[in-house]
């Protein structure tokens, strides 16, 4: 009986031991040495997805619990806390013990760790780039991007050995640091498609998992993201299904999905801010008295007046406006107009064909386009590149001759060159603290200095900087003069290239602001980008003309589309980070 009792006691002791100690202990050969033993499991991590990860980061000294019995895996991490973790990691990787001196009497608790990283950043540009803004808001919850970028800046390349081959993710636009973490098996995303959700707050469990996988290669995850088709998810169609033809050009399901989601997004975005006009009477009170206490004007309206602008601004897709059209009908019409323009560019491409160099650029640019076109085929990505090149060719073909440029720009309300402006107050409000007379004296002073340096665009820009005049971007550019008087527009039209205009005055009594300006005219024919833009105006007019007469043949798939239903599905995909084009 005594022997049996001893056996029972032994089994009970073992049972108790296994109930508190995770089954995965420290792995010999890990990137960091074990500095302490995980004797008692945290009550709130036992048996959950990051249990073993928490044990690892605890044993190597990278993270501790919130208390002896609580880790708080769902709790957020502040920027100060990731600074501490990153400093510990780097110090341990380089033979240290992870212990830092206590902060000074008037220092923040994290200051020794920040000092350590700042010293490293003097010779590490990547670390410097991320550290300055992370350190600027130490008690703000950090997001997933912050943590990856900070860790990436201090990790050696050898710590990120690739075990996966991932080049495209739903919400990553070619970020090499994030992709390196995926390919090293440190990140797997928040869904089967690998969505990163980089701007969401990082929690302690996620941080523990990332750190444990960095430290212990055996915990890294081989991962192949699930294939995603935006056209399939949105329309329920194969991406290459023809939904309609325009003058014989086949519009595929994914091209239609692309144009549709673009218009839905634009319509929803424009509707989203209608409440600024609707509730303008509350703006001053929000801005002056309560701005710091609320996340946004919408939050203020909800908290103070119970006005839920999210509901009020939601698009009622099938509700007609005063003109008798519903938002769904407007979007459907706009989508068809856009498709007609795209189709006509390709229908008439023999008039402005791709050059051999452009074809090569399309082929070589496909790899980069994949990261921008998540959920779309290479065929579609290639089509976008071709459309861009064809549009450039059209613009070049339709650009006016050099002798016609001056009249052409004047016709469309543009001036090409540089300008400098001194603004002044014409009412009782002091926006600039400058009188009309003072502004005139200032602009005339600048003009007297600029007149002998008209061949030096940089000097013109320098004068603006020196004397506080607002200006165009460095170098000549197109400037809209639509708001100018007819005589002022004529003055600028007749100005010779390389000449400086007389002082031009404009006043807006409604705003209480006036402006004195001078203009330095340049030759647009020497600017390839400007000539392309100038040529795009008649090119677009020509495309619109073709589109007006286009013959459209729809299919049963197209006739069955409901914009209202598709908008709801698009909103769901967008909320999940699967909105298609990045």
Residues 550-571: what's their mean pLDDT?
A: 94
Residue 496 per-residue DSSP state: P
Tens-digit pLDDT profile for residues 139-172: 999 999 999 999 999 999 999 999 999 988 888 8
How far does CA 434 lie from the centroid of its chain?
38
What does the domain layout of the chain look like in residue ranges? 20-219, 242-354+380-386+535-575, 403-529
The residue whose two tokens read 């967008």 is 574
Higher pLDDT, 509 or 181: 181
- 239-253, 315-329, 403-417: range with highest mean pLDDT: 239-253
Using CA atoms, how far apart are residues 521 and 417, in angstroms rounded to an integer? 4
Residues 508-533: what's their mean pLDDT?
A: 91
Binned at pLDDT 50, 70 and 90, residue 582 comes out as low
Binned at pLDDT 50, 70 and 90, residue 494 comes out as very high
Nearest alpha-carbon partner for 328 in 339, 319, 341, 336: 319
**Cβ–Cβ under 8 Å, residues 152 and 126:** yes
Tens-digit pLDDT profile for residues 525-544: 988 888 888 999 899 999 99
> Residue 153: its pLDDT value, please?
96
The residue whose two tokens read 């640019």 is 365
The chain-wide mean pLDDT, for the chain, equals: 89
- 3 state SS of 513: strand
Q: Are strands 513-521 and 504-508 parallel, antiparallel or unpaired?
A: antiparallel
pLDDT at 2 over 60: no
Tens-digit pLDDT profile for residues 36-60: 888 777 999 988 999 999 999 999 9
**Cβ–Cβ under 8 Å, residues 498 and 521:** yes
Residues 212-238: what's their mean pLDDT?
A: 94
Residues 355-371: what's their mean pLDDT?
A: 92
Overall pTM surpassing 0.85 (yes/no) = no
Percent of the chain with pLDDT over 70: 94
Residues 496-506: what's their mean pLDDT?
A: 94
pLDDT at 6 over 50: no
How far does CA 323 lie from the centroid of its chain?
36
* Least confident span in 132-146, 291-305, 355-369, 562-576: 291-305
* Least confident span in 62-76, 332-346, 491-505, 567-581: 567-581
* Backbone angles phi and psi of 212, in degrees to 5: -65, -40
Binned at pLDDT 50, 70 and 90, residue 16 comes out as very low
Using CA atoms, how far apart are residues 52 and 47, in angstroms rounded to an integer? 9
Tens-digit pLDDT profile for residues 388-424: 999 999 999 998 988 899 999 999 899 999 999 999 9
Tens-digit pLDDT profile for residues 465-488: 998 888 876 789 999 998 899 999
Residues 231-258: what's their mean pLDDT?
A: 96
Multiple choice CATH, 403-529, 1.10.3470, 3.10.50, 3.40.50, 3.30.70: 3.10.50
Binned at pLDDT 50, 70 and 90, residue 322 comes out as confident
- 3 state SS of 336: helix
**Cβ–Cβ under 8 Å, residues 426 and 507:** yes
């Amino acid at each position: 009986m005594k022997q049996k009792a001893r056996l029972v006691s032994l089994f009970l002791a073992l049972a108790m031991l296994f109930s508190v100690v995770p089954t995965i202990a420290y792995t010999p050969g890990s990137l960091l040495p074990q500095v302490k033993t995980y004797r008692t499991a945290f009550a709130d991590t036992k048996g959950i997805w990051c249990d073993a990860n928490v044990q690892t980061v605890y044993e190597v000294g990278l993270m501790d619990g919130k208390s002896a019995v609580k880790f708080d895996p769902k709790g957020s991490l502040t920027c100060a806390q990731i600074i501490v973790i990153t400093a510990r990691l780097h110090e341990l990787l380089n033979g240290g013990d992870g212990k830092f001196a206590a902060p000074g009497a008037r220092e923040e608790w994290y200051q020794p760790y920040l000092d350590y990283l700042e010293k490293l950043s003097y010779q590490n540009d990547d670390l410097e780039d991320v550290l300055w803004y992370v350190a600027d808001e130490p008690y703000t919850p950090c997001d997933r991007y912050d943590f990856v970028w900070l860790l990436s800046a201090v990790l050696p390349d050898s710590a990120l050995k690739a075990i996966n081959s991932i080049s495209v993710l739903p919400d990553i636009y070619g970020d090499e640091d994030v992709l390196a973490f995926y390919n090293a098996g440190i990140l797997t995303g928040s869904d089967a498609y690998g969505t990163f959700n980089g701007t969401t707050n990082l929690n302690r469990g996620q941080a523990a998992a990332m750190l444990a996988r960095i430290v212990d290669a055996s915990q890294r995850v081989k991962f192949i993201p699930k294939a995603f088709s935006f056209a399939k998810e949105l329309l329920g169609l194969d991406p290459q299904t023809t939904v309609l033809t325009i003058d014989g050009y086949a519009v595929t399901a994914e091209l239609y999905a692309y144009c549709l989601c673009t218009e839905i997004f634009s319509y929803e975005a424009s509707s989203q801010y209608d409440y600024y006009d609707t509730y303008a009477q509350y703006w001053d009170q929000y801005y002056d008295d309560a701005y710091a206490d609320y996340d946004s004007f919408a939050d203020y309206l909800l908290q103070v007046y119970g006005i839920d602008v999210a509901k009020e601004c939601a698009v009622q897709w099938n509700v007609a406006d005063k003109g008798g059209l519903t938002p769904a009908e407007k979007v459907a019409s706009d989508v068809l107009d856009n498709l007609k323009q795209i189709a006509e560019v390709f229908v008439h491409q023999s008039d402005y064909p791709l050059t051999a160099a452009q074809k090569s650029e399309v082929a070589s640019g496909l790899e980069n386009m994949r990261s921008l076109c998540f959920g779309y085929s290479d065929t579609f990505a290639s089509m976008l590149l071709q459309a861009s090149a064809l549009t450039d060719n059209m613009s070049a073909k339709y650009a006016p001759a050099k002798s016609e440029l001056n009249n052409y720009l004047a016709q469309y309300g543009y001036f090409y060159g540089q300008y400098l402006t001194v603004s002044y107050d014409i009412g009782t409000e002091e926006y600039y603290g400058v009188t009309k007379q003072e502004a005139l004296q200032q602009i005339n002073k600048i003009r007297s200095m600029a007149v002998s340096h008209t061949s030096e665009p940089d000097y013109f820009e320098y004068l603006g900087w020196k004397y506080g005049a607002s200006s165009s971007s460095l170098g000549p550019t197109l400037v809209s003069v639509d708001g100018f008087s007819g005589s002022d527009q004529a003055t600028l039209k007749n100005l010779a290239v390389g000449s400086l205009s007389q002082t031009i005055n404009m006043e807006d009594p409604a705003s209480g602001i006036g402006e004195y300006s001078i203009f330095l005219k340049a030759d647009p024919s020497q600017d390839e980008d400007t000539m392309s833009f100038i040529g795009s105006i008649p090119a677009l007019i020509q495309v619109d003309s073709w589109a007006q007469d286009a013959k459209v043949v729809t299919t049963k798939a197209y006739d069955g589309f409901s914009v209202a239903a598709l908008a709801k599905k698009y909103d769901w995909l967008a909320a999940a980070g699967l909105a298609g084009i990045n």
